[in-house]
Amino acid sequence: MSAPDSPFDPVTIGPLTLRNRFIKSGANEAMCLDGRPTKALLKHHGDLATGGVGMTTVAYMAVAPEGRTLPNQIWMRPDILPDLKALTAAVHAGGAAISAQITHGGSFVTGMKVKGRTISACSGFNPAGMLKGNFLQRAMTTLDMDRVTAEFVAAAELARDAGFDAVELHMGHGYLLNQFISPLNNHRKDEYGGSAENRVKFPARVLAAVKQAVGDTTAVLAKINVADGVRQGATVEDAIVTAKALQSAGADMLVLSGGRNVESTWFMFGSRMNREEIVKVLRQQGEWLTALMMKMVAASERDTPFREMYFLEYSRRIRAEVDLPLAYLGGIKSLANAEQAISEGFDCVVLARALLHDTALVNKFRSGELAESGCDNCNGCVAYIYHPAGTRCVMNPPNDPALNRVAAAAID
């Protein structure tokens, strides 16, 4: 009998081979300037590459300016190609691959005012847009769908031209493509609404178009929800339908996440938000109203004691039903967790907080220096997506704010 795969073994995902199976999850870095990557972003992902990951994911790269939820997120346009190239070069120099999480917020635009109504699966009141006056959303027409599909394709082509090895289409957490998949948002009466098969049609169409455009050279991934975690939300049975449709559309691998930014952050993180830290950071930035709103949202959260590998039961259900590569995500804390996920048939493991806490964790696992992450799942880091120096672990020294004021490709 051959030995089971190890998380340190290489793996092939479509046209891409990774040196090992550890992937840094897309986690909003807040390291850009006018939608352009900064030196801080370059350092962060360069550190992850030298720290041993097989691939790192640059979070939330919006395919259109109004697709950002916060102003400090990347907006994909030809103008930033030199900065994207500097970023991919830094990661490749560290021996890792790099993935671009391309996305559109749809009606989930919390930190900017969008001209007119935000787009979504359906029309109506938009609770997520209240802070910046995006009170109303409108249902996308077929023309909107064509335009957004073209925006995803253009973003994927730009990522490929900049040297990214993979693109990850964000279809979870409540962003635009998830607004189609989730029955919490999608009440359409046409062929894009109703059954789980219908709800995934538009996201699958976007993925197929991206695959056709860049799939020869670039791995095409999608991040989906194993479930929304709330009543009336998408279930694991829906996720199985979604996974099958995305496999048919050509996905090279699915990253299995869960939860929604508005309704169920506790489900996404397997633990409560850190209300105190969020309010502290937002107040420092003068965002009093947002701080108040966050306090109210956090107060309504379900108290969830953290559990390692908190999506495992859901993810196993999907693993049993589809045969495309799947990446396990959610509460990986130790080498033993990673080994278990691989031994259960997941092709990769995806980590956010453990790698935010220690960018060299994979090398430390490999050398035996550490068997477990020191991250205590306090969720303090989530507050720093609002900080001008960028996201960081509260246990680590502060980031250098100067690095976040210089474009990635600027000559030193």
Report the interface residues with ligand SF4, using CB under 6 A. 353, 356-357, 375-381, 393-395
The token duo for 396 is 């680590």
CB contact at 8 A, 162 and 249: no
Task: Tell me, rounded to whole angstroms, the distance of Cα 408 from its chain centroid.
Answer: 21
Binding partner at 393 among ligand SF4, ligand FMN, none, C-beta below 5 to 8 Å by kind:
ligand SF4
Q: Does the protein bind ligand FMN through residue 352 (CB under 6 A)? A: yes
| Distance, CA of 205 to CA of 245 (rounded, Å) | 10
> Torsion over CA of 166, 168, 169 and 170, rounded to 10 degrees?
-170
Going by C-alpha positions, the residue among 255, 252, 339 that lies closest to residue 20 is 339
Q: Does the protein bind ligand FMN through residue 24 (CB under 6 A)? A: no
Per-residue binding letters, 155-194, with ligand FMN (x by CB under 6 A): ---------------x--x---------------------
Binding partner at 51 among ligand FMN, ligand SF4, none, C-beta below 5 to 8 Å by kind:
none
Min dist CB 384 to ligand FMN, Å, is 7
Query: Is 328 among the catalytic positions?
Result: no
| Comparison of 318 and 383: residue with beta carbon closer to ligand SF4 | 383
| Comparison of 197 and 344: residue with beta carbon closer to ligand FMN | 344
Binding partner at 394 among ligand SF4, ligand FMN, none, C-beta below 5 to 8 Å by kind:
ligand SF4
Q: Does the protein bind ligand FMN through residue 373 (CB under 6 A)? A: no
The token duo for 6 is 């190890």
Per-residue binding letters, 241-260, with ligand FMN (x by CB under 6 A): ----------------x---
CA 171 to each of CA 155, 179, 241, 297, 406: distance values in angstroms, whole numbers, following the listed order = 15, 8, 14, 23, 31
Neighbour count for residue 196 (Cβ, 10 Å): 18
Binding partner at 86 among ligand SF4, ligand FMN, none, C-beta below 5 to 8 Å by kind:
none
Binding partner at 188 among ligand FMN, ligand SF4, none, C-beta below 5 to 8 Å by kind:
none
The token duo for 320 is 């049993």
| Comparison of 186 and 271: residue with beta carbon closer to ligand FMN | 271
Min dist CB 26 to ligand FMN, Å, is 4
| Distance, CA of 236 to CA of 248 (rounded, Å) | 18
| Ramachandran sector of residue 131 (left: φ over 0; alpha: ψ -120 to 50; beta: rest) | alpha
Kindly list the catalytic residues.
175
